[in-house]
Structure 1
Amino acid sequence: MSKARSALGKYGEDLAARRLAQAGMTVLQRNWRAGRTGEIDIVARDGDVLVVCEVKTRRGGGYEHPMAAVTPEKAARLRGLAERWVHAHGGAPPGGVRIDLVGVLLPHRGAPCVEHARGVA
């Protein structure tokens, strides 16, 4: 991954973490890796619910909207990663686990657009 793409992703994740915190969630961990299986961008707590959050950042232009990035295959991978995180951290909380998506769109001009979709997978 190029440095520019990595920086773009980190910036999007920073904006996403801020949005989740503003929504009253507690960010527990960022960029949790499960070996070669993959990575969870943000793990948060929303009351008694554990939230596994995928963050997709796109620059304005001809790319697909970030919210279209979670395919059925990606959703299945996120569910598997969520199970691994829960197993590694002592079990599921009383409210269960939810998978959310935060899409960050960076226009050529103006402020970033940050959208949070709950329960996407």
Structure 2
Amino acid sequence: MNPRRSPTQRTGDAAESIAFDYLLARGLQPVARNVASKVGEIDLIMRDGDELVFVEVRARSRSDFGGAAASVGPVKQLRLRRAAQRWLTGRYGDRWPACRFDVCALQGREIDWIRGAF
């Protein structure tokens, strides 16, 4: 891990690695990680059969304020959609494959994989 990253960023990096391994173990294939654009960042892009999966990873140590999954609100969802649109257009032009948005919410040692979260 990069020592210049904040403790929060290092926690996020660790959570992304845990989620990545979790999804690999369940048969998803990696496409890309940490895809950044002007409109937002996509934590993981995976393939589940013929479907592309854009994964937002969230980690919380406590369930205050609804926990990790609840932190992916409407504004974050819009940013993720826009980032995915930009990535899809750059990669596939106007012929996009089927895709969905999942959330991997890590709360302590628990992982909640929400398929088709939004």
Query: What TM-score, normalized by structure 2, do the two folds share?
Result: 0.87
Q: Could you tell me which amino acid in structure 2 is paired with residue 26 of structure 1?
A: Q
Following superposition of structure 1 onto structure 2, how do residues 6-25 of structure 1 map, counting pairs within 5 Å? Answer: 6-25=9-28
Give the gaps of 5 or more residues in structure 2: none
Note the aligned Cα RMSD (angstroms). Answer: 1.7
Structure number with the higher helix fraction is 2
Which 4+ runs in 1 deviate beyond 2 A? 60-64
Give the gaps of 5 or more residues in structure 1: 107-111
1:102 equivalenced with 2:108 (yes/no): no
Question: How many pairs align?
Answer: 113
CA distance in 2, matches of 1:2, 1:31: 15
- After superposition, give the CA deviation of every residue in 1:70-89 in whole Å (9 maximum; x if it has no partner): 21222122111111111111
Following superposition of structure 1 onto structure 2, how do residues 1-121 of structure 1 map, counting pairs within 5 Å? Answer: 3-35=6-38, 37-60=39-62, 62=64, 64-90=66-92, 91-93=95-97, 96-106=98-108, 112-121=109-118
Q: Which residue is equivalent to 1:109?
A: none
Query: What TM-score, normalized by structure 1, do the two folds share?
Result: 0.85
